Amino acid sequence: MSAHMKELTKGLFKENPTFIIMLGMCPTLGVSTQVSNALGMGLSVIFVLTFSNMAISALRKIIPDTIRIPSYIVIIASFVTIVEMVLHAYVPSVYAALGVYLPLIVVNCIILGRAEAFANKNTVLDSALDGIGMGVGFTMSLTLISLIREVFGSGTITLFAVGGFDGVIEIPGLHESPIGVLTLASGALLVMGYLKAFFQWKSARGQK
């Protein structure tokens, strides 16, 4: 596999930000109540992560070491503000659902973590690939957690409303008597814990 391909795919499983590096736990636990929220959050993070990684990588030789953190925060905050304004204008339902977690992408440790650990040492192309890979890895993890929580916790799968389809798929059997605890914060921690254990077991088995 070429080096570029490696930067892109490492975020999916090997260095998955949620299950392996354990970054960005706050939004992961907070917005994983519905699949549509997870997808909205994931796409916003992919956008912010990719563009902030590219901008930081392009400016890595210009930004002095002493002001790198404030510079990163300003760059990341600008992209988050742009995402916020665009979502507010064109997808208000997702904007409303993400609520306070959307501006909090600014301090999402995946983004600052990748800026500090990767983008300020690598080329623009590699940083963009790293951003896309990590963003997609985060989105996949978030969607997986929210799918489990929503299917078992509410008996529904909430996607986006298109035309006559209202966006909500009800699962017979589970919809009438769901496991309510999974929709609460404690349910998020439980699901996260089991999935982390599963990924730990899987990667330990892979090393043998």
Partner 1 sequence: MREILRTGIILFLICAVSAGLCGIVNSVTAPVIEENLIREREAALAVAAGEYTVGNEITVDTPEANVAYTIMDGDEAVGYVFELNASGYGGAMTIIASYYFDGELINAQLTTNSETPGLGKNAENSWYMDMFKGLGGDSPLPSSSADLSADDASAVSGATVTFTGVSTALRNGSELAKSLGGAV
Q: Is residue 180 within the footprint of partner 1 (CB under 8 A)? A: no
Window 55 to 84, contacts with partner 1 (CB under 8 A):
59, 62-64, 66-67, 70-71, 74-75, 77-78, 81-82
Asked whether position 116 contacts partner 1 by CB under 8 A, the answer is no
- Tell me the C-alpha distance between 174 and 157, whole Å: 11
Residues 126-165 close enough to bind partner 1 by CB under 8 A? none
- For residue 56, the surrounding DSSP H or E stretch is helix 35-58
Task: Give me the least distance between CB of 202 and partner 1, in Å please.
Answer: 29
92 near partner 1, rule: CB under 8 A: yes
Segment interacting with partner 1, rule: CB under 8 A, options 12-20, 30-38, 116-124, 162-170: 30-38
Write the DSSP assignment of 137-192 as a string of letters. Answer: HHHHHHHHHHHHHHHHHTSEEE---BTTB-SEEE-TTTTTS--GGGGSHHHHHHHH
Helix axes 35-58, 124-153, angle to 10 degrees: 170
d(CA 117, CA 109) in angstroms, rounded, equals 11
Residue ranges binding partner 1 (CB under 8 A): 30-31, 33-34, 37, 59, 62-64, 66-67, 70-71, 74-75, 77-78, 81-82, 85-86, 88-90, 92, 97-101, 183-184
